[in-house]
């Protein structure tokens, strides 16, 4: 299925993903986005191809393997962890394939936690370099006015939201940084579900959001 995606990831992010230098949470964001976005997926594939050529140029033709290398490699494989059967993805799910793989199922596998005003979240286990969470925002509801200490990427999975900058629908990613200050509001026609990743806490202005932030770990 093709989506009318208007807001894409930057070239720097896509290149870092291809190079394997992004934190786990940001890798999850890119994998989820490119599963829906043909344009960004093509960009990643081109960066992968360039990286492969660069690696090939750095390998001398006359390198010899040490005796027993093959046997040692096979022994490591045999002694490794047993691979679990791959998850069967739910067709037509709100969650794109990479995100289904990550959470271990569809929406009914998510353990939501209420954080106020009808908004719910599910924090996903990732490395400490950055955090990832799923957000459920009721139709017409607004997130508290906030700024950013670092980078925040928010991808719409269901519904849509708008802020002072633009309108974001399924597949779109909003890129926010320390220069961004906004109040996202979910479209009134449908509850909004998003994947959000951050590498630093958000910067709230109001007292109540600041108190809630300590418990919601936003």
Over the range 101-136, which residues count as b (16 or more CB within 10 Å of their CB) and which as e? Answer: bbbebbbeebeeeebeeebbbbebebeeebbbbbbb
What pLDDT shows up at residue 70? 82
Q: Report DSSP letters for 119-183, one per residue.
A: EEEEEEP--TTSEEEEEEE-TT-BPPPEEESS-EEEEEEESEEE-SS-EEETT-EEEE-TT--B-
- DSSP class of 1: -
Domain count, the chain: 1
pLDDT score of 49? 85
What does the mean pLDDT of the chain come to? 83
Q: What pLDDT, on the 0 to 100 scale, is given for residue 87?
A: 64
CA angle 165-199-177, nearest 5°?
25
pTM of this prediction? 0.78
Residues with pLDDT less than 70, the chain: 1-2, 51-63, 82-88, 145-148, 178, 201-218
Question: Which residues, other chains included, contact 124 with Cβ-Cβ below 8 Å and sequence gap of 6+?
Answer: 25, 28, 102, 103, 132, 133, 134
Q: Tell me, what CATH number does 215's domain have? A: 2.60.120.10
3-state secondary structure of 110: coil
What pLDDT was estimated at residue 116? 78
Would you give the end-to-end CA distance of the chain in angstroms?
33
Q: Which residues have CB under 8 Å from 74's CB, separation 6+?
A: none
**What is the chain's alpha carbon radius of gyration, rounded to the nearest angstrom?**
20
Domain that holds residue 187: 1-218
Q: Can you name the residues that pair with 162 across neighbouring β-strands? A: 167, 185
């Amino acid at each position: 299925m093709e989506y009318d995606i208007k807001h894409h990831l930057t070239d720097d992010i896509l290149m870092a993903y291809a190079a394997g230098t992004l934190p786990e949470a940001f890798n999850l964001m890119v994998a989820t986005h490119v599963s829906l976005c043909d344009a960004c997926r093509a960009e990643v594939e081109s960066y992968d191809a360039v990286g492969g050529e660069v690696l090939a140029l750095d390998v001398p033709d006359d390198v010899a393997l040490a005796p027993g290398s093959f046997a040692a490699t096979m022994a490591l494989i045999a002694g490794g962890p047993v691979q679990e059967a791959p998850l069967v993805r739910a067709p037509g799910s709100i969650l794109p394939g990479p995100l289904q793989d990550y959470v271990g199922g569809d929406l009914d596998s998510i353990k939501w936690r209420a954080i106020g005003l009808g908004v719910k979240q599910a924090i996903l286990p990732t490395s400490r370099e950055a955090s990832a969470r799923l957000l459920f925002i009721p139709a017409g509801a607004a997130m508290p006015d906030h700024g950013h200490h670092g980078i925040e990427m928010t991808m719409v999975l269901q519904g849509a939201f708008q802020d002072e900058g633009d309108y974001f629908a399924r597949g779109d990613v909003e890129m926010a940084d320390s220069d961004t200050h906004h109040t996202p509001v979910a479209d009134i026609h449908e509850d909004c579900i998003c994947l959000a990743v951050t590498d630093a806490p958000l910067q709230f202005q109001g007292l109540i959001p600041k108190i809630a932030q300590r418990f919601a770990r936003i």
